[in-house]
Amino acid sequence: QAFLQSRQYDEARIVFRQIARYGPPDITPSAEQQVILTYALQGRTSEADRLVEKYQKTFPDQKGVAALVDYLVGFAMLQNAQFSTAIQRLKSAQEKGVDPNYADEIPRYIATAYQKSGQGAEALKYYESFLADVKAGKRKISQESLEQTQLAYASALIGEKKITEGMAQLTQLTTATHSPAIQEDASLRLAYALRASKKLPEAAAAFATFASTYPKSANLGSALLARGDTLLEDKKSEEALAAWKATATQLSGSPAGLDAYERIWRTYAKEKKKDLMLANQEEQFRAYPKDPRNIAAYIARGTVFTEERDESQALQAYRRAFELFRELYPDPKASPPPIAISDLAYSALEKSADLELTTAKAIGNYASLPEDGKKRWKESIQRSIDFLRQSILGLSSSRVSPVLSKLVTLSLLRFQSGEAPVEDCLQPFRDLAGQASDQPALVAQILFAQASVPFEAGQTILALRLYEEAYKQSLENKVALDWRDLQRFANALLTAGKGEEARPVFERIRKEFPASGPKDPKQYAQASALFGLGQIDFQAGRKAESEKYFSELATKYPWSDKLQEANFLRAQALAETGKYDGTKSDPGAFDLWIGVIESGTASNEMKARSMLAFGQSLETVASKNISTRQLEQGVGKAKLDPLDLAVTYYQKIDLYYDSLPELSAQGLLRAAKIRRGQQKNDEARKIVTTLLSKYGNSSVGSEAAELLKSLPASSGTTPQ
């Protein structure tokens, strides 16, 4: 029986079998029944039914076991969401005549199964039929069970939006003809029903009446809190706050009192009343000094200070949140904290890291800072790294990937600012992996994120090697990975010509990051995956298949920068076929590139690439003497020279996007070559000189230097 009560059914079955085999004959039937019941309680219906049949043959004089098994199996099926089977077995138990101790519960279980299976109308019919049979004397149940069934029926009516009928039933159950327990329960449910029907003043009054009528009720706290919630819903903020303050005082030290404090300061926070929020938080800290929920209060405090750009106060609040966590759980290995509490505490460190990064960015661009500024910049970045590392080691597995993604972003900032080479930027990841050596799943997550640093730094061969090794480990350990890192991995595979290997990675993003609504950030993951799958087919020459993905991308995520990347690829394909001009419904290459350049969602890199491609196509137009409306200036005006227009686009890359040195350099080199071909050598010299001064270390730097040497002397130079 002890094993049964603790739900250790396998162990209980072993003991009962021993009793049935070796115990005295008079208790054998009872022991065999218990064996059957262990199967029934586990929902193992076939074993239970088989043993019932055997039991009835062995002990024909023993009655009731079949009905009891039906009841227990039905209940187990209800718990396991197998509603149709639950209804069938519970009705069978009812017809066979189960023990009176269980019979009264069956109607509620059957109706509940109907409701949970989406058959609310059937549930109501069942309640009504059952209650009619009781009233007619066809079924005999206790008065207590009758009232409980009537209460459940009233709740079912409200659940099926028949609120008026449900409230009428509840009102009837609050009268003195019913037991005190039913009156109390019905009174509270009636208040909630009034609130659900948006009769907010009446609901608030009903909650207040309940509290005064049943001051000793176990539901007193819920009623008092609900009264405040109802007043707030009725736009009576001051009355709601007063109600919660009274609750906090009346129920000080209880969970409901703490709930009241939280409602008070969260309301003040929402209303941007910082001082009142802080004051009420202090009251909460005094009344509940060692409650884990104070961690959330400190984090909320930090968020308010962050919004006000008071980084010092914000850091102090986040630090106090984590200190409290350490005080409450000094030895987490011996006494592990709840995961939700632990994740919340370590999120304070993550937020601290964000603040330190903000501080570093506010100091300025590292490369242009004086030595003292560089020192402060590096110190803030190092503190941010330390906070992120500590957070990653403490967070639960499902929360780690987004924080690792932040460490990737921070590492890339170090590299791109010139503060550290790629090798140094990888060191924090390697240190983390060493600290987590006893957690192979976490190590896999760390090493996979690490590979994103060389990938973004342009070292794709190194990145792909690191990705492939870490991805294998992540699959073995079944760990969650951030979609951004998965996207980079898939893109690295694409760059290496491994499109079909990239496909399952993009499909994994689609599967593991479903977007639940128009504001869900996972929409970005879905857009990325659709573009990636389309890109695979595009690169393989399967244009029709790629267009399906791109069309879905355009339909579902028209705001995505990935749509502009798709349009860039579409334009390239059209240019290859010579279709430069088109219509609004059937655009050509130039139309699509202009759309990308003028888009508010395209990245700067994609705009620069579109300008470069546009210029290259204009060079083709010039060489093949192709007509395009891009050269037209209006009636009576001469057409533009395609090469002059190409030079304009190339120079715009340098003008608008000089933060993209490689693309800017390529554009200027092509512009200089055009001017040399036009015998405009002075202009060519000026362009290439700009290239070498700004982008001398680019991949075209040496070619630009050779071009400069090949140009004739400036027309303004006097021969010696």
- DSSP letters spanning 368-380: GS-HHHHHHHHHH
Number of other CB atoms surrounding residue 520 within 10 Å: 13
CA 383 to chain centre: 27
**207 to 192, 194, 228, 253: CA distances (angstroms):** 8, 10, 9, 21
pLDDT at 196 over 60: yes
Number of other CB atoms surrounding residue 48 within 10 Å: 23
pLDDT at 356 over 90: yes
Q: How far apart are CA 233 and CA 201, in angstroms?
A: 10
Residues comprising the chain, all counted:
720
Q: What is the pLDDT of residue 101?
A: 62
CATH number at residue 633: 1.25.40
Q: What is the pLDDT of residue 234?
A: 95
Establish if 34 belongs to a structural domain. Answer: no
What letter would DSSP give residue 636? T
For the chain, what is the largest distance between any 2 Cα atoms, rounded to a whole number of angstroms? 130
Among 347-356, 500-509, 544-553, the minimum mean pLDDT is found in 544-553
Which token pair is 431?
């240190």
Q: How far apart are CA 232 and CA 230, in angstroms?
A: 5
Q: Which of 511, 467, 457 is nearest to 489 (CA)?
A: 467
**Taking the C-alpha atoms of 413, 416, 417 and 422 in order, what is their torsion angle to the nearest 10 degrees?**
80
The model's pTM is 0.72
Is 640:600 a contact under the CB 8 Å cutoff?
Answer: no
CA 314 to chain centre: 25
Range of the domain at 560: 543-710
Q: How far apart are CA 280 and CA 324, in angstroms?
A: 18
Establish if 60 belongs to a structural domain. Answer: no
SS3 call for 427:
helix
Establish if 550 belongs to a structural domain. Answer: yes
Is 582:588 a contact under the CB 8 Å cutoff?
Answer: yes
Q: How far apart are CA 320 and CA 294, in angstroms?
A: 10
Is 325:356 a contact under the CB 8 Å cutoff?
Answer: no
pLDDT at 595 over 60: yes
Which token pair is 601?
């969602």
Establish if 704 belongs to a structural domain. Answer: yes
In one letter, which amino acid is 534? G
Which token pair is 466?
């690191």
Establish if 363 belongs to a structural domain. Answer: no
Which token pair is 590?
């130039």
Can you give 472-522 as a three-state secondary structure string? HHHHHHCCCCCHHHHHHHHHHHHHCCCHHHHHHHHHHHHHHCCCCCCCCCH
What mean pLDDT do residues 66-86 have? 76
Q: What is the pLDDT of residue 579?
A: 92
**E strand intervals along 618-717:** none
Task: Give the list of residues 6+ apart from residue 497 with CB closer than 8 angstroms, or none.
Answer: none
Task: Give the list of residues 6+ apart from residue 508 with CB closer than 8 angstroms, or none.
Answer: 486
**E strand intervals along 403-457:** none
Among 260-264, 323-327, 460-464, the minimum mean pLDDT is found in 460-464
User: How many structural domains does the chain have?
Assistant: 1
Q: How far apart are CA 242 and CA 23, in angstroms?
A: 66
Establish if 662 belongs to a structural domain. Answer: yes
Number of other CB atoms surrounding residue 238 within 10 Å: 9
pLDDT digits (tens, 9 = 90+) for 376-420: 999 999 999 999 999 999 999 889 989 999 999 999 999 888 899
> Which of 107-116, 126-135, 295-304 has the highest mean predicted lDDT (pLDDT)?
295-304
Which token pair is 651?
């120079």
Q: How far apart are CA 621 and CA 606, in angstroms?
A: 22
> Which of 57-71, 85-99, 201-215 has the highest mean predicted lDDT (pLDDT)?
201-215
Establish if 341 belongs to a structural domain. Answer: no
Is 121:77 a contact under the CB 8 Å cutoff?
Answer: no
DSSP codes, 132-193: HHHHTTSS---HHHHHHHHHHHHHHHHHTT-HHHHHHHHHHHTSTTS-HHHHHHHHHHHHHH
Task: Give the list of residues 6+ apart from residue 534 with CB closer than 8 angstroms, or none.
Answer: 546, 547, 548, 549, 550, 553, 566, 569
Q: Quote the Cα angle for 422-424-428, to 5°.
A: 110
pLDDT digits (tens, 9 = 90+) for 650-681: 999 999 998 888 899 999 999 999 999 999 99
Tracing tokens 């959330």 back to the chain, one arrives at 296
Establish if 420 belongs to a structural domain. Answer: no
In one letter, which amino acid is 141? I
Question: 51 falls in which pLDDT band (50, 70, 90)?
Answer: confident
Among 114-123, 331-340, 416-425, 579-588, the minimum mean pLDDT is found in 114-123
The region, left, alpha or beta by phi > 0 then psi within -120 to 50, assigned to residue 118 is left
